[in-house]
Copies of this chain bind each other. A is one copy, B any other.
């Protein structure tokens, strides 16, 4: 079977599990490790796609779309009629879509899980819907993403061992159904998702079941859902070794600078998170010296750029005083500029991480980064 998405592993760090690789997709190459900006509803919030392509030095190579949101509005059939998500949203690089699972599970009492799938009520109008593995694939086929994610059950944290065991087994059965429901493997690749919560033996069991399916990539799901970071890192340490070296590994929903470095160090290739754009809309900038809450009075007459070491569009043209003014006035340009800066920060940090792996100085770069960023 020829896969839409293939992975080349160029190099593994000599002192850590950090890897330098490349995903080849129908919409171009994605250099890894990679941070993927999230475009929940068919737009990376407050940014033109052209500007997403100027983030960092190379621009974002891949963005994320949300199956759940696009299914509810505007509807996957509509996106299909428009020629697929790439054309609909004017983005000609790679797209990864999630399965919609995480969002429907997050609905709490508004959803019910059965062997068949998940019934849920729309947050828009209360209408009843059902997601199944087959439905998730049908939607993602219509969206036309390069990478589709399997429909899984993401157990909450904390959760009983028996719940997590049942959940990971359901996830495996659903994965088999996803695989059976998908046909055009040359157009779109399906990634499997490992579950198992924070129980390492269950993680192992899930890894064995999921990798058995021989898919072009695997994700580690169910982490960063409320557990302490140290516990997440500890679980990751082992999990990664149970996934095949020649396949890409994706840690879902993770995107704070510390988690990115720790994830890369443990052999993760792909990350995504709404954090940078959400923080931006709430007036927080990520900078090489840590977070800047732009509304603070200390920036009122600060005519320096957001980050003096940043060469992004925002830092080349605007002062903190101006950005503070925009934020206080609730101007749309505030969200636009802070989103662009924050995404640039993560995309270019990831570019630096890639270079540091190539040059055998990943650990040194990590140390330099946090000496300034100040979180460690």
Which of B45, B81, B303, B317 is the one whose CB lies under 8 Å from A90?
A: B317
Which of the candidate stretches A17-25, A131-139, A320-328 sits at the interface with the other chain?
Answer: A320-328
Interface residues in A122-164 (C-beta closer than 8 Å to B): none
A303 near B45: Cβ-Cβ < 8 Å: no
A303 to B87, CA, bound (A): 11
Please judge, given known A-B contacts A81-B301, A88-B319, A89-B322, whether A48 and B336 are in contact too, CB under 8 Å.
yes
B73 near A326: Cβ-Cβ < 8 Å: no
Measured CB to CB, the nearest residue on chain B to A303 is B82
Residues of B within 8 A of A90 (CB): 317-318, 322
B325 near A73: Cβ-Cβ < 8 Å: yes
B73 near A329: Cβ-Cβ < 8 Å: yes
- Expressed in whole angstroms, the minimum distance between the Cβ of A312 and any Cβ of chain B is 13
Q: What is the total number of copies of this protein in its complex?
A: 2
Which of B46, B82, B322, B332 is the one whose CB lies under 8 Å from A321?
A: B82
Residues of B within 8 A of A326 (CB): 41-43
Whether, in the assembled complex, A335 has its beta carbon less than 8 Å from a beta carbon of chain B, the answer is yes
Residues of A within 8 Å of B, CB-based: how many? 34
Interface 1/0s, chain A 44-55, versus B by CB < 8 A? Answer: 011110000000
- Expressed in whole angstroms, the minimum distance between the Cβ of A80 and any Cβ of chain B is 11
- Expressed in whole angstroms, the minimum distance between the Cβ of A361 and any Cβ of chain B is 36
B332 near A45: Cβ-Cβ < 8 Å: yes
Residues of B within 8 A of A300 (CB): 74, 78
Whether, in the assembled complex, A333 has its beta carbon less than 8 Å from a beta carbon of chain B, the answer is yes
Measured CB to CB, the nearest residue on chain B to A83 is B303
B46 near A336: Cβ-Cβ < 8 Å: yes
- Expressed in whole angstroms, the minimum distance between the Cβ of A213 and any Cβ of chain B is 34
A282 to B336, CA, bound (A): 18
Residues of B within 8 A of A291 (CB): none
A332 near B336: Cβ-Cβ < 8 Å: yes
- A-B complex: 6 closest residue pairs judged by Cβ atoms: A46-B332, A74-B325, A90-B317, A43-B333, A41-B329, A43-B331
Query: Can you name 24 A-B residue pairings with CB atoms under 8 Å?
Result: A41-B329, A42-B322, A42-B325, A42-B326, A43-B326, A43-B333, A45-B331, A45-B332, A45-B333, A46-B332, A46-B336, A47-B333, A48-B336, A73-B328, A78-B300, A78-B321, A82-B319, A83-B303, A88-B319, A88-B321, A88-B322, A332-B332, A332-B336, A336-B336
